[in-house]
Amino acid sequence: MENRTRTLFNRLQAGRLIALLSPARPEDCLAAWEALAPLGITLEIALRSPAAAPGIALLLEREPEALVMAGTVMTSEQADRVIEMGVAGIVCPDYFPEVVERCVAADLLCIPGGISGVGAQLAQKARLYGCTIEELPLLYPYQYIHKLFPAITETVSFLGLASAWKGPYKGLQMVYTGGINRDNLAAAAAFDRSGIFCGSALTKAAPDRAGMRAEGEKWLALLAEKSPE
């Protein structure tokens, strides 16, 4: 599992895009992966959809090496289920200590979210691994990560929080989700040139593979304009 989760983390840092899918049917998961994985875009399947767990199972049955993430994981039971299925990473809408515990036990990439709880989740990960927070990014870089959620709302941007967090937590890998779209992606990417960006618009055409590929290519073009020099 360690190799898969490390490979996933490297892929996230290289591609910098996560496509969030809330599938209507299990087959949508396979279609989204087939459309977006060749572009280097990572797929996150949200468990808030009844079709999500069957979709993850179908995808990993057809493509056992697929580096897919389970999203909206909020309980230890959900974490145990998707870890057993073979996902390569778990994403949470907030900081749930029991989910972090399960992920660290499996040495699996865990991305807690929210506009708080950064230090708490990093401290828990470090404690469970038996290291300090300072050692965490050196020994387990794929766990030195947090999801800013929501990143942008209709009335306010929380992007500045990421800069504040990177003061005490230098080099913290940030994932930005919630309100990220093509209209603001370039500005967000300019704000954090190593940031990873997640959007449900990347899968809005599901199960249309061509439509998802076209959307993914547009997002990648915007990121390329703001890529690190």
- Domain regions of the chain by residue span: 2-224
Taking the C-alpha atoms of residue 178 and residue 18, their distance in angstroms, rounded to an integer, is 12
Q: What six digits make up the tokens of 165?
A: 């967090």
Instruction: Give the H or E element holding residue 196.
Output: strand 196-199
Neighbours of 131 (CB within 10 A): 14
Q: What six digits make up the tokens of 23?
A: 């599938």
Taking 90 as the threshold, does the pLDDT of residue 2 lie above it?
A: no
Residue 227: burial class (beta carbons within 10 Å; 0-12, 13-18, 19+): exposed
113-163 tens-digit pLDDT: 999 999 999 999 999 999 999 999 999 999 999 999 999 998 999 999 999
Q: What six digits make up the tokens of 57?
A: 């199972």
165-200 tens-digit pLDDT: 999 999 999 999 999 999 999 999 999 999 999 999
Which CATH superfamily, name and number, covers 2-224? Aldolase class I (3.20.20.70)
